[in-house]
Homo-oligomer: A and B are copies of this chain.
Amino acid sequence: MFSKACEYGIRASIFIAKNSFEGKLVSPKEISEEINSPKAFTAKILQALVRHDLIKSVKGAYGGFIIDKDTIASIKLTQIVEAIDGDKIYSGCGLGLEKCDENHPCPMHDKFKVIRDELKHMLETTNLEELALGIKSGASFLKI
Chain A residues close to B by CB (< 8 Å): 1-2, 4, 7-8, 10-11, 14, 77, 89, 92, 94-98, 104-109, 111-112, 114-116, 118-119, 122, 126, 131-132, 134-135, 139-144
Contacts and interface: CB of A to CB of B under 8 A. Distances in A.
A32 to B, nearest CB: 13
A131 B107 contact: yes
Copies of the protein in its oligomer? 2
Nearest to A14: B107
Contacts of A141: 97, 104-107
B119 A115 contact: yes
Nearest 3 CB-CB pairs, A to B? A7-B96, A107-B131, A107-B140
Contacts of A118: 114-115, 118
23 contacts: A1-B92, A2-B94, A2-B95, A7-B94, A7-B95, A10-B95, A14-B107, A97-B144, A98-B144, A104-B141, A105-B139, A105-B141, A106-B140, A106-B142, A107-B131, A107-B132, A107-B142, A108-B126, A111-B126, A112-B122, A114-B118, A114-B122, A115-B118
